[in-house]
Structure 1
Amino acid sequence: MLDQTEVLHHLLQGSPLLFFAYSVSASQVLYVNEAYEQLFPGASRDTATQDLPRLLSYLPAEDQAYALTCFTDLANGEMHDDLLLRLQPQPEAPLRWLNVRAHRAVATDGQVLLCGTVQDVTVDHEYTRNADKFMAKKNTTLEILSHDLAGPLNMLQHLAGFFQERTQSLHDPQLEKMVLVMQETCRDSVNLIREFVDSEFAESASVQLKRARVDLTANLRQVMDTYQRSEHLVAKHFSFSSTPEAVYIELDNNKFLQVINNLLSNAIKFTREGGHISLAVAQHPQHVLVTVADDGVGIPEQFQPVLFDRFTRARRPGLRGEKTTGLGMSIIQTLVQLHGGTIWFESREGVGTTFYIKLPT
């Protein structure tokens, strides 16, 4: 009868996952299965310890620092989510993505070990990245549509109200009914898209975060590109800046982009035609700071202390009559806090508003 050790050996050797055991105490790779040589062509299981510096050099510089920090934390007993690392052995080689799962263990002889798995998730990552890209574009497009439609439809609704006043003396039931249909159609059409966007955003706060390491700069630039291409639709000017050019951070990409979309949507609501809205990212030693600024009408001073309350009395229609539920800022704060971050703002009436989001790195 096979003993447990032999069964475990066959399981590990037949797995496409790379299993490893590394002794922190001895700075030595104790075990890797056959998948090691499949994942890293040209490498040998017999020289796994000597291969480590070379394999580390295959990671981009920022990923090298990230990996070393995470493994040091693990060795010291701190927990980490899955580590998503980029791998590029040669400059011209296609970029691959590796998912590393590891945990700390203590052997019977007292050695501190890091044990876990490495998996090539390039296909899954590219699929998710494309899904996130189109999800963000869809949300941004809906935001733009809701503002683009609001202006003319609200104007038609006001014109219908004017016609209603001027035709009351005619006492024509059919005409009155037609004017009423015009008013209701305009109002319902504007609310339809707005309610869809708001309800989808509201659901985000009740769903567990799915964190992954992403290039925040690239994702935010993509969102702003869509707004910039639509400047003529909302009659606003958009700008984006980032220092440095790439900022990597662990977050739920979809939910955070919804936060940014909602802040940009609010900025559009309360910025006059021809106004300016900017989005910026800055990396600091211990945090990343994201700012959304506008030169709009600002937030009245009496509303500022209660802006983040649920169903806040600070809710007010936009400059073009855009509807608001009063839930948006509360959900934004909840999602930022779920990421371990903080959000605050500065605002002056007639000057504009700037929102700040501070996220830990």
Structure 2
Amino acid sequence: MPDPVVQFQHLVEEIPSVFFVYDLPSQRITYVNAAYEQMWNGHRKQVNEELPALLARLHPDDQEYAADCFARLCTGLLRENVELRLLGPNEEVQWLCVRASLYRPADSSPSVSGFIDDITVEKAYHQNAEKFNTKKNSTLEILSHDLAGPLQLMHNLTGQLHQQLQAHPDPHLHELLRIITTTCSESIDLIHDFVDNEFLESSSVELKRERVNLVERVGIMVDNYCRTELTLALKFTLETSAPSIYASIDENKFLQVLNNLVGNAIKFTPAGGHIRVGLHENPDHVLVTVADDGIGIPADLQDGLFDKFTRARRPGLRGEKSTGLGMSIVHTIVLLHQGRIWFESEEGHGTTFYIELPKGL
């Protein structure tokens, strides 16, 4: 038993976290505290015999990831906490957080030691919060079109009515029309300002990255849009190259990026159009696409699209306004993820945005 463990054994034995020491040359666990028996109903004296069965319970999506993390840990390159899933007898999932480090004493063999915590409850809470946050972001984009569209129509019709009644001498009627026009305009601005402010705030906070199954999380977002196909008169689909695709991202910020791109596609795609979100896994990166068959971006507006207050800003087909900041923030968040973004567009034939993300952890 290593001296540090002997020195603090009375403390280690009382903590709820599993503490372990793994000897690298012999590939055996030389110490594990009593929490091991409480967490997995095992026997600490038989931990090396029980270890293969425990590792066999690793979620299939996490096995390669766990092996890569362990390899980096053994070379001293792993610095972050690692979250893994174990499957129970009835396929229930137990989430674990592993905090470990490499120990290389001068007078004895190298070892890996660390703590393992059961974070199942915290993870379930976090995933539910992110699920509803994802729905919130897509719902805001939907509402910005669903609510602002009729108000814009009323604003335009009131303007036409005002012109036709120019010869009418009733000042009270003209004042009522002015009030309706002003109210519609202010309401439209309020809706779009609220959505824009939600997105602007996302670029001012440091990234909180974690390993995320993009198929699952983006699927929730797209499903929310699919529920509004009749209302928006648009079709939404998700295309993936695998059932599960993982990347290290700040989930909230990255999904806001996708919501912004889908929102722009809605703005510039006429009724009956099709918006497709794609996820394609490659050896070292994930390619995310958002494609539409809308009106496209004119060639003379394509340069500088990701600049702040770009001259490419223009109102949507239903009168939606643009601050010119959206694409700049999208570009910033993608760069913060060490990714890159570009697009292809032809006027009258739609636009496709591409985001290349490193797979990370």
TM-score (norm 1): 0.94
What's the counterpart of residue 75 of structure 1? Answer: 74
Match of 1:89 in 2: 88
Distance in 2 between residues matched to 1:97 and 1:29, nearest whole Å: 21
Deviation by residue 1:176-197 (Cα, 9 ceiling, x = unmatched): 2211111121122222222111
Q: Distance in 2 between matches of 1:108 and 1:65?
A: 32
**Aligned-partner Cα distance in 1 for 2:313–2:78:** 41
Distance between the aligned counterparts of 2:300 and 2:111, measured in 1? 57
For residues 240-281 of structure 1, give each alpha carbon's deviation from its aligned partner in whole angstroms, at most 9, with x where no partner exists: 111111112222111111111111000000111111100111
The answer as to whether partners of 2:134 and 2:221 remain within 8 angstroms in 1 is yes
Show the counterpart of 2:35.
35
Q: Does 1:98 align with 2:105?
A: no
1:120 matched to which residue of 2? 118
Q: Is the 8 A contact 1:289 1:357 kept in 2?
A: yes
What is the match of residue 50 of structure 1?
49
Q: 1:9 to 1:311 in 2, by over 3 A?
A: same
Change over 3 Å in CA distance of 1:87–1:30 after alignment to 2: same
How do 1:220-259 and structure 2 match up within 5 A? 220-259=218-257
| Structure-2 separation of matches of 1:23 and 1:303 | 61
Aligned match for 1:158, one of 143, 156, 159: 156
How far the C-alpha of 1:59 sits from its partner, in A, is 0.7
What letter matches 1:83 in structure 2? V
Aligned residues of 1:293 and 1:353 also touching (Cα < 8 A)? yes
- Give the deviation of 1:341 after TM superposition: 1.4
In the alignment, the residues of structure 1 paired with residue 297 and residue 348 of structure 2 have an alpha-carbon distance, to the nearest angstrom, of 9
Counterpart secondary structure, 2:178: helix
Q: Number of paired residues?
A: 357
Aligned mates of 1:113, 1:237 — CA distance in 2:
55
> Letter of the aligned partner of 1:317 in structure 2?
P
Q: In the alignment, residue 319 of structure 1 is paired with which amino acid?
A: L
Q: Which runs of 4+ in 1 moved over 6 A?
A: 3-7
Tell me the secondary structure at the aligned position of residue 142 of structure 2.
helix
The letter of the residue matching 1:18 is: V
User: What is the deviation of 1:56?
Assistant: 1.2
Conserved 8 A contact 1:275-1:294:
yes
**Partner secondary structure for residue 197 of structure 1:** helix
Q: Deviations over 1:192-239 (max 9, x none)?
A: 222111111111111122222222101111111111110111111111
* DSSP 3-state at the match of 2:30: strand
Alpha-carbon distance in 2 for matches of 1:323, 1:80: 45
TM superposition shift of 1:104: 2.3
In 2 relative to 1, CA 113–172 (structure 1 residues): closer, same or farther, beyond 3 Å?
farther
- The residue number in structure 1 matching 2:60 is 61
Tell which deviates more after alignment, 319-328 or 171-180: 171-180
Q: Tell me the secondary structure at the aligned position of residue 226 of structure 1.
A: helix
What is the deviation of 1:170? 2.7
* Aligned-partner Cα distance in 2 for 1:193–1:113: 58
Secondary structure of the corresponding residue to residue 272 of structure 1 = coil
Distance 2:340 2:109 in 1: 40
Q: Which SS does the other structure have where 2:277 is aligned?
A: strand
In the aligned structure 2, how far is the partner of 1:197 from the partner of 1:81?
34
**Is the CA contact (8 Å cut-off) linking 2:287 and 2:357 kept in structure 1?**
yes
What is the one-letter code of the residue matched to 1:70?
A: C
C-alpha contact (below 8 Å) 1:142/1:193 kept by paired residues: no
Instruction: Give the drift of 1:150.
Output: 2.4
CA RMSD of aligned residues (A): 1.8
* Structure 2 SS opposite 1:185: helix
**Offset at 1:169?**
2.5
Q: Within 2, Cα distance between the matches of 1:245 and 1:37? A: 35
Matched, 1:332 2:330: yes
2:148–2:191 Cα contact (<8 Å) kept: no
Percent of residue pairs identical: 48
- Flag the 1:305–1:77 CA change in 2: closer, same or farther, 3 A: farther
Measure the CA separation in 1 of the matches of 2:301 and 2:110.
55
Structure 2, gaps ≥5 residues long: none
Q: TM-score, normalised by structure 2?
A: 0.94
Q: Could you say what secondary structure the match of 1:168 adopts?
A: coil
Instruction: Report the 3-state secondary structure (helix = DSSP H, G, I; strand = E; otherwise coil) of the residue aligned with 1:170.
Output: coil
Deviation at 1:138, TM superposition (A): 1.3
| Structure 1 letter corresponding to 2:119 | V
The whole-number CA distance in structure 2 between the counterparts of 1:251 and 1:88 is 24
Asked if 2 retains the 8 angstrom alpha-carbon contact of 1:22 and 1:31, the reply is yes
- Report if the CA contact (8 A) 2:21-2:30 is conserved: yes
SS of 1:19's equivalent in the other structure is strand
**What is the CA–CA distance in structure 2 between the aligned matches of 1:104 and 1:195, rounded to whole Å?**
50
Partner of 2:320: 322
